[in-house]
Structure 1
Amino acid sequence: MPWRPLDGETFPTLGYHVADQMAEFLDYVVTREQLEFLVAFYEIDPLTCRRIKTRAIIQRPRGWGKSPKLGAVGLSEALFEVVPDGWDAFGQPVARPWSDFKSIINVPVTATSDDQVQNTWAPMLEMARLDSLVNEFDVDPMDTFIGIPGGKIEPRTSSGRSIKGLPGQVAAIMDQTEEWVKGNGGLRLAQNIRNNSTKASGVTIESPNAFTPGENSVAEASARDWDLIESGKYPDLAAARQILYDHREAPADTDPSDRASLEYGLRYAYGDSSDHPDGCVIHNPPCEPGWAPIQRQMLAFLDTSNDPQVLRADFLNQITHATNSFVSQPDLKAIQALNKVISKTEPVTLGFDGSEGRKPGKGTADSTVLIGYSVTQKHLFKIGVWEQPDGPAGENWRPPVLQIEDAVRQAFKDYNVVGFYADPSAGWAGHVKTWEAEYAKRLKVRMSRDEPIRWRQKDLARTTDTFDQLESAISGRDITYDGSPELTSHFINARRDRRRSGYVLMKPEHDPDGSKIDAAWGAMFAYAAGIDALGAKLTKKKTAARRIY
């Protein structure tokens, strides 16, 4: 019998059944928010009757309750009915435990240190010792492992014995993956765990706190995968259904100096875990108060000895920035304006930064970018970004010059371009000369009389001053941008490189090859031209020519 939806269900799931088993045998009652995660995680394909999700990432602030939740999920995967096995007489899914299908079952609980792994292991071991579980299942909870039929649940760290090739890994808990980096063996540990999961048709669950961009952690790589999925650039979008990415952070405009704003931001980030007497703010009607001490957390923001970026990451779950980052992710989110429309008559400036393409034997080429800026709306927007494709298609790649020239030509047709600044390096000096000859008469603001477009590379003070002005405009929310993935990632990747007169932007030291920042430079050129246009009082819309009869 095929699946038959009940009560408006959009897909079949074992999530409710797993939650019932948690309550019965683990004395663990999920919140509505946690139930929503289980429903999504245990989604079933209605045609094949197989679980869809093989990889889950749940990111919440500290104290939300990730560790006991993951402990309950780990025990569920090891012992409970979690493997779909057809449909009952009502068209609803039925399931059996992994032990009915496998002779070896292992569930590692992993982190990069003993202290971290205890966050999940301690509540898991406590649940495993409950009479309701021990009396029903053949489990042997010891201090260092939990014996189960066919295997064990066991804490593992990157410093311990290798997890590579662990047989029967039906599930793996990966805790605090924002701390998993190359230096502590976290990247290798994550790869081994995922390989084991693939071999055993199992699942992995990551539970990071907010990561710091630029550290190249496992959590950051997972977020990057999700960004590729959302932007449509993931290598296999059909396979992307297998990934569940559940992240919620405080709104980008949360102001820690404003009590009402901070309180709402914390309540939103903590969801059903918030202990606010009015209940949660993510459901209507609101759920009952939880356990996370919102008022106590608010006091932490008043303590000037605390690092505000750490507080934002820990309690608002906001992915902020490295110490030398150009801008933070919350600041960028706060200035996104996705629905702004640029008219043909308002003054617009352009910024261009070019790449010569991939050099033989070298890594990934820089990007070539064309960025626009509306002088009156104070709005940055992407016109074109040309990047080296992944894989074999990227070998010997060169920017599509004709396509880029067409994009410049089209920009002058589509917009009232009053200024255009471009970096002439990387083989683009001749093109800049051509653009100057073709468009000079239209440009109301110029770098110089003889070279109106060519950015003066030797004028370092102008470059550093403009980057400083652009950062101030972003953090002060004096400008907006279109939220394009390329502009976003290039802004986040950019690091401050200190000079005597200020700073310019460079790539992250850990990833000078893969992390692109060219759109940030292009935005700076467009913004610099916009500042000059504003200084020249070029804020009026162009008046369309009228026929005189």
Structure 2
Amino acid sequence: MPWRPSRPGERPTLGPLILDWIIEYLAAPDRAEFEPFVPTLEQAQFILRWFEIDPHTGRRKHRRGVISRPRGWGKSPFLAALAIAEALAPVVPDGWDADGQPVGKPWSQIRTPFVQVAAVSEAQTKNSWAPLLEMLDSDALIDAYPRLEPLDTFVNLPRGRIEPVTSSARSVKGNKAVFAILDQTEEWVPSNGGVRLAEVMRINAAKLGGATIESPNAFTPGEESVAEQSAEFYKNILEGKAKDGGLLYDHREAPPETDLDDRESLMAGLRLAYGDSADHPDGCVLHEPPCQPGWSPLDRIVADIWDLGTDPQTARADFLNQITHASDAWLSQPEWASCASPGEAVADGERITLGFDGSRHRNRGVTDATALIGCRVSDGFVFEIAVWEQPDGLAGKDWWVPVMEVNAAVRKAFSRYKVVGFYADPAADWRSFVAEWEYTYGRRLRVRASQQHPIEWWMNRTQLVVRALEQFHAAVVNGELTHDGSYALTRHVLNARRRVSRSGLQIAKEHPDSRRKIDAAVAATLAWQARLDAVAKGVGRRGRGRAVVLS
């Protein structure tokens, strides 16, 4: 019998069955005596969504999940409960009952279930592994599954096992798990193998029709973490750019205006971030009527935030779950995000300026990126034309920037738009190419870097660089600039770090060999500077304007 809703707006889900199973069989961790594990209303709502079924295919809707909450919210025991349920409970859709409601069966009726709890360090896996072992200490569970054997380093199931994973991506290739927890993915970055590990575990789950859930705290933009990539994927889903929407993304943070120095504002932000787990005497702020007070000690958290040894940015990420920025960031994520206009489009034939920065090859470390960024003259809309970056792994070995593609992108920009200014940092690798661009396109430009070199704009001219960076920064902070929100441009802008010189503030990578590149930020600054020079001379106003030469 096909599924039919019991109430208007209802969607089919195995969630109620799994909730009943969890409450019946699992023990609450960290208790002196046995108590059943009862998810909060907030957690129950996630479970209902996580086990949703596509009524057209009869399969589970979500293959990936993200549950992002502040430290102390209760992610570890909650995900431990989900891991046990995925290993033993009837989580696989198995048609509909006589009333048209979904029913399920355990993985063990299909294949030997393997469930993994993964992190990039052994200490991280203990976050979910320790409560998982405690939750298995239930007479009801042992009676129902007599061959269940919890051990310190793994759990033997009647068929299959649950195991922690801290090894490299290479070593988990053959261990295909039907479900995996990816813990603290804000710390899974390319340098520690976390990005590759996540990729391999998702591929393993995909081969079996399984799923993975991430449990990050707020990530730092620009670190290229797994948590940041998942947030970008969700953004693409919302914008209709992703071809697949199988991600359940649940991130909640305190409002951006939360004032760390004002107790009332801070407490309101904490109550929202912690939801059902907050121990505020008035209960939670998520539901009406409010849920009973939880376990997260908000007064103590306020004291920790106000401790002089606590960095404000760390406090915002850990306790308010706010996605912010590094302490020495040139621009913050909220500042950059406030200027985003992702639906904006630049029409063919519009007046624009271009900025270029790049590198061709590096014998050691990761080659700097090469970026071509545009800026619409009429309103200062900055947009990514192309960014070339060295791939990870073997694909990036002995990689060189594809100069033919770069030349083609420049040629296409001049063909598609009316380019009135083009500033490029030539550097050693690109001087001959910039000279060729000047010969080919120089006469078309309405603003010029100099009389002899209309495009060549050296980033080692300290005073001009400082001024250009100041103007770009001010345009973002004051809302005079908008941008397309593209992933590479955003990442490079947020990667940029403040560096104070005798001449003023400049930007740089976090360290010279960092793989977190900033070239698109430099190119955007050059495009913006060319646009300012064009506007100053009236270029684009009723078709009038004359060339200006920078001294």
Where 2:53 maps in the other structure, the secondary structure is coil
1:277-321 CA distance string (max 9 Å, x none): 444444566544433233332333322221112112111222333
> Residue 60 of structure 2 is aligned with which of 32, 39, 51?
51
Q: Which amino acid aligns with 2:490?
A: T
Q: Cα–Cα, structure 1 residues 193 and 339, in superposed 2: closer, same or farther, change >3 Å?
A: closer
Task: Note if 1:21 corresponds to 2:21.
Answer: yes
Question: Letter of the aligned partner of 1:316 in structure 2?
Answer: L
Q: Structure 1 counterpart of 2:72, which letter?
A: G
Question: Amino acid of the residue matched to residue 246 of structure 1?
Answer: D
> Quick one: distance in 2 between partners of 1:187 and 1:519?
22
CA displacement at 1:193 relative to structure 2 = 3.1
Alignment of 1:87 with 2:96, yes or no, is yes
What is residue 312 of structure 2 aligned with on the other side? 308
C-alpha displacement at 1:456, in angstroms?
5.2
Letter in 1 for 2:63: T
Write out per-residue CA displacement over residues 114-136 of structure 1, whole angstroms, 9 at most, x where no aligned residue: 33222212222222112232233
**Structure 1 residue aligned with 2:268:** 264
Pick from 66, 69, 78: which aligns with 2:75? 66
Q: Can you list the C-alpha shifts for 1:433-454, whole angstroms capped at 9, x where unaligned?
A: 77764463xx7xx866887876
- From 151, 154, 158, the equivalent of 1:145 is 154
Q: Does 1:30 align with 2:32?
A: no
Q: Give the equivalent residue in structure 2 for 1:415.
A: none
Q: Report the Cα offset of residue 163 of structure 1.
A: 4.1
Q: Which amino acid aligns with 1:270?
A: Y
Give the Cα separation in 2 of the matches to 1:101 and 1:294: 45
1:412-491 alignment runs, 5 A limit = 420=421, 422-423=423-424, 425=426, 426=430, 427-429=433-435, 431=437, 437-438=443-444, 440=446, 455=457, 457-471=459-473, 474=476, 477=478, 479=480, 481-482=482-483, 484-486=485-487, 487-491=489-493
The structural deviation recorded for 1:99 is 1.9
In 2, Cα distance between equivalents of 1:340 and 1:247: 26
1:14–1:221: structure 2 CA closer, same or farther, 3 Å change rule? same
Tell me the distance in 1 between the aligned counterparts of 2:9 and 2:373.
Answer: 45
Question: Counterparts of 1:373 and 1:523 in 2: how far apart (Å)?
Answer: 13
Q: List per-residue Cα deviations over 1:393-436 (Å, max 9, x = no partner).
A: x9752333443114541x77xxxxxxx56226343456567776
Residue 356 (structure 2) aligned to one of 353, 357, 370: 353
| Equivalences for residues 271-350 of structure 1 within 5 A | 271-283=275-287, 286-322=290-326, 324-336=328-340, 350=353
Aligned residue type for 1:460: T
Match of 1:175 in 2: 183
Is contact 2:284–2:291 with CA below 8 Å preserved after alignment? Answer: yes
User: Aligned AA for 1:276?
Assistant: H
Code of the residue aligned with 1:78 in structure 2: it is: A
Shift of 1:54: 2.1
User: In structure 2, which of residues 398, 402, 412 is the aligned counterpart of residue 403 of structure 1?
Assistant: 412
User: Corresponding residue for 1:503?
Assistant: 506
Amino acid at match of 1:305: G
Q: Which letter maps to 2:525?
A: M
1:107 to 115, 119, 124: 115
Aligned to 1:64, the other structure's residue is in SS state: coil
SS of 2:144 mapped into structure 1: coil
2:140 paired with 1:132: yes
Match of 1:206 in 2: 214
Q: Deviations over 1:486-514 (max 9, x none)?
A: 542331233456655342345986664xx
Partner of 2:385: 385
Query: How many Å apart are 1:461 and its aligned residue?
Result: 1.9
Please say if residues 86 and 93 of structure 1, whose CA atoms lie closer than 8 Å, have aligned partners that are also in contact. Answer: yes
In structure 2, distance between residues paired with 1:404 and 1:129 = 65
The one-letter code sitting in structure 2 at the alignment partner of 1:466 is A
> Structure 2 counterpart of 1:423, which letter?
A
Report SS of the residue matched to 2:70: coil
> d(CA) in 2 for partners of 1:338 and 1:370?
15
Residue in 1 aligned with 2:124? 116
Deviates more, 1:181-190 or 1:208-217: 181-190
CA distance in 1, matches of 2:413, 2:184: 43
Residue 253 of structure 2 aligns with which residue?
Answer: 249
Letter in 2 for 1:109: V
SS in 2 for 1:256: coil
Deviations 1:322-366 (Å, cap 9, x if unpaired)? 455432223323454679999xxxxx984532669999xx97962
Q: CA 1:308/1:41 → structure 2, altered by over 3 Å: closer, same or farther?
A: same
CA displacement at 1:462 relative to structure 2: 1.7
Task: Identify the range of structure 1 (150-159 vs 299-308) with the bigger mean alpha-carbon deviation.
Answer: 150-159
* Contact kept in structure 1, 2:343 and 2:484, CA below 8 Å: no
Following TM superposition, by how much is the alpha carbon of 1:84 offset from its aligned partner in structure 2, in angstroms?
0.4
Partner of 2:5: 5
Task: Name the amino acid aligned to 2:492.
Answer: H
Tell me which amino acid in the other structure corresponds to 2:184: Q
Give 1:385 deviation, angstroms: 1.7
Evaluate the alpha carbon distance shift between residue 401 and residue 196 of structure 1 in structure 2; reply closer, same or farther with a 3 A threshold.
Answer: closer
Residues 14 and 91 of structure 2 are in contact (CA less than 8 Å); yes or no, is this contact kept in structure 1?
yes
- Cα distance in 2 for partners of 1:355, 1:489 equals 16
Computed over aligned residues only, the root mean square deviation of the Cα atoms, in angstroms, reads: 4.2
Distance 2:175 2:383 in 1: 49
Moved more, 73-82 or 51-60: 51-60
- Cα 1:456–1:402, aligned 2, differ >3 Å: closer, same or farther? closer
Structure 2 gaps, min length 5: 27-35, 396-400, 545-551
C-alpha distance in 2 between matches for 1:531 and 1:544? 16
Partner amino acid, structure 2, of 1:467: L
**In the alignment, structure 1 residue 78 sits paired with structure 2 residue 82:** no
Q: 1:143 to 1:255 in 2, by over 3 A?
A: same
Equivalent position amino acid for 1:255 in 2: D
1:73-108 deviation line (CA, Å, top 9, x unaligned): 011011111010001122211101112222x22222
Matches of 2:537 and 2:261 in 1, distance apart?
36
Contact preservation (8 Å) 1:166, 1:196: yes
Instruction: State the 1:66 CA deviation.
Output: 0.5
User: d(CA) in 2 for partners of 1:403 and 1:284?
Assistant: 56
Over 3 Å counting, the alpha-carbon distance change for 1:422 and 1:242 in structure 2 is same
Instruction: Give the SS at the match of 1:134.
Output: helix
Count of residue correspondences = 510
Q: Secondary structure at the match of 1:86?
A: strand
Indicate how the Cα distance of structure 1 residues 400 and 133 shifts in structure 2: closer, same or farther if over 3 A, else same: same
CA distance in structure 1 between the partners assigned to 2:168 and 2:520 by the alignment: 40
Closer/same/farther in 2, CA of residues 181 and 543 from structure 1, 3 Å limit: closer
Partners of 1:272 and 1:287 within 8 A in 2: yes
Unaligned runs of 5+ in 1: 343-347, 413-419
